[in-house]
Structure formats: structure tokens, C-alpha cells
Amino acid sequence: MAPARNRSSGRDVHFYDIARPDKPLGGLLLTPSFTEKTFFFALEILVVSNSPYEVYLRGTETPLRPTEESLQPGQYDIKPTSPRRTIVHKFEYRIATDTETDRIAITNEWSITRVLSNTVSGRDESFRRRVRARDRKCVITGVVNPKRRVDWSAYHVAHIFPLSAEQWFITNCFSRWITDRDGEHDTGIKSCQNGLLMLSTVHELFDNFSISINVDDDYKIVTFTDDLLNVGGRQLDPICRDPNNVQSARDELLRWHFRQAVLANMRGAGEPIFEFDFPSGSDMVGEIRESPAAAKRMEAELFSS
């Protein structure tokens, strides 16, 4: 069995609490789409701090700024900028040190285990048909399916928020963003507003959070692994996000996907990337049981079918 891939392998950027410079909080595999600005977007998701902070490339004295310059490889120290006053006795105050109130921490926000969102039910056929009619192209690469063709075998309709986490979708009120629903009992997770058309080669990268879209940076496509398709830094195609089209993909769901991509790729050692290609005759269940985070993945597999 091929082992799950380790997202921390080959990282050339690591970041630290400056008070603990030998214990990385996380890191990333640097790609051309990762600018200094993108790095700050990611840190806003990851870092929990009691005070404002600055970020320094280790060995430099000038704090990093959120520019469009490419992020440089290396070690980055996160330094709180405003020490806090702490009460010691009723009328006595002192300035707390970095190792006390201003320690940098990483969020414990829940991250999802995701599998390919291929589905077969009748409702899913309607979902595929409507997303295909809206997009007509891979919204990541821009590759168009000619109108004279009815062959969609090279294209997949991907769920932005996965079917395997439908209960989480309901519990956390993501349904409120979906206006294109079939009645009040439809959760909306199979609405075309939760779908994007993309080439099948892109679909797996999107589903395992190796590619995502930063809505808040002009719909920039961000790659978290080697960009073999040369899509990093492009914009998500406008055809799927036309604000005048009630069927357009929802920004709130794309924003959730980007948060999950940051958590999966940059926090700690990152989440494992699972193998989807099971050879014919292989023991799929047995292989899943032997993989990292087996219970979490098994649940995702069961609820995505």
C-alpha cells in the first residue's frame, strides 16, 4: 500500500513563536503563488495571539509586510509587539514578558478529512448538469469544453464543501448561504452554488486542499504543492462567480475551503494526503484502516458515498 503523503516533506518555509525559536509552529512548501501578502492571509487564519505581532525573516531586522513580492524561503519568527500589563496584587502592576501573556499559539480549529467527491445519485445528476451548464470550462485552468461536444469525461463537478461533512455543514449553518434549494428540507450542499467544474486532473488537487482560492485576494488561485499545472496566481474564472447569476458559487463556501487548505497544509506537520488510486482487487477497507487518521478517513469515505 502506498503510504499517505506527508505535507511537511520538502518544506522550505517554517514559522515560529520567537520565544521558542527551535520549535516550528508550521510551515509550507513554497510555490510561486505564495507572496508575502498570501503568507499574512494564512497567518491570520493560523495564529492565535493576545496582542498584535510582527513577522521577521530570521536574521533580518525589518518586519515583513503584506506585499505582492514573492515570499522567500527560510525561517520566520512571529514577535508580539505590545506587552500587556498583568495584575500581581490589588494595586500593583508589572509588564508581562513574551513567555507569559504574549505567547504565540496556533489555532485548534477543526479541519476536515476529505475524499474525492464523486457521486452517483439522481440528485447528484441534477447538480452535475447545472454546474456544467453554468461553467462550460475548467474554472481553474480555463480549458473550455467545446459546445459541439457532449463528452464530459475529462471534467468533474467538484463540491466546494464536501458531502461527507453534510452534518457539519448543517450544524454550522452553512445552509444559510445557499439560496438555490429544493424546498426547506434541502440542506443546499448539492446546490450548484456549492459546485465548480474542473478538469479531472485538478479535481483531486482541489479535494485534498492542494489548490484553493482566496476570495479576499481577488479570487487568487493558491497552490500548496508543486504547481505542475501552472495555475497558481491566476484568478478563479469569472464565469462561476458572476454576482448577477443566482446560481453562482458562493464566496462564503470558497472562503471556508481556503481556510481548510491553510489548516491542512500549514499547521504543524499538516494533514496527511491520502491515496485515492486503489488497484483492482485490493482491500480498500484494509488499506484505509492502516493509513494515518484511519477512523476520520473511514467516516469521510462512508458519508461521501
- In tens, the pLDDT along 133-160 reads 999 999 999 999 987 777 899 999 999 9
pLDDT at 46 over 90: yes
Which residue from 302, 116, 270, 77 is spatially nearest to 205, judged by alpha carbons? 116
Same domain, 42 and 174: no
Which residue from 197, 217, 219, 215 is spatially nearest to 206, judged by alpha carbons? 197
**Model pLDDT, residue 96:** 42
pLDDT at 4 over 70: no
Same domain, 33 and 145: no
* pLDDT one-digit tens code per residue, 221-242: 999 999 999 999 999 999 999 9
Q: Are 175 and 169 in contact (CB under 8 A)?
A: yes
Mean pLDDT computed over every residue of the chain? 84
What share of the chain has pLDDT > 90, as a percent? Answer: 66
In a domain, 168, yes or no: yes
**Model pLDDT, residue 296:** 47
Last residue within a domain, chosen from 75, 106, 137:
106
**What confidence tier does 28 reach under pLDDT thresholds 50, 70, 90?**
very high
pLDDT at 174 over 70: yes
Same domain, 88 and 212: no
- Our measurement of the distance from residue 120's CA atom to the centroid of its chain's CA atoms, rounded to an integer in Å, reads 25
Same domain, 129 and 99: no
- Cα distances (angstroms) measured from residue 298 to each of 4, 94, 142, 155, 283: 14, 52, 34, 26, 13
**Structural domain for 27, as ranges:** 13-106
Last residue within a domain, chosen from 106, 130, 151:
106
Read off the pLDDT of each residue in 175-196 and give the average, rounded to a whole number: 87
**What confidence tier does 3 reach under pLDDT thresholds 50, 70, 90?**
low
In a domain, 172, yes or no: yes
Same domain, 259 and 142: yes
Residues recorded for the chain: 305
Q: Are 54 and 102 in contact (CB under 8 A)?
A: no
**Model pLDDT, residue 125:** 87
**What confidence tier does 103 reach under pLDDT thresholds 50, 70, 90?**
confident
Return the higher-pLDDT residue of 123 and 244: 244
**Model pLDDT, residue 272:** 86
Read off the pLDDT of each residue in 187-193 and give the average, rounded to a whole number: 93
**Model pLDDT, residue 273:** 82
In a domain, 112, yes or no: no
Q: What is the rounded distance in angstroms from the CA atom of residue 173 to the CA atom of residue 187? A: 9
**What confidence tier does 302 reach under pLDDT thresholds 50, 70, 90?**
very low
In a domain, 70, yes or no: yes
**Model pLDDT, residue 116:** 56
**Model pLDDT, residue 225:** 94
Same domain, 27 and 74: yes
Same domain, 93 and 136: no
Q: What is the rounded distance in angstroms from the CA atom of residue 145 to the CA atom of residue 138? A: 8
Overall domain count for the chain: 2
Return the higher-pLDDT residue of 182 and 203: 203
pLDDT at 89 over 60: no
**Model pLDDT, residue 186:** 81
Same domain, 101 and 127: no
Predicted TM-score (pTM) of the model is 0.83
Read off the pLDDT of each residue in 38-47 and give the average, rounded to a whole number: 98
pLDDT at 198 over 70: yes
Read off the pLDDT of each residue in 244-248 and give the average, rounded to a whole number: 94
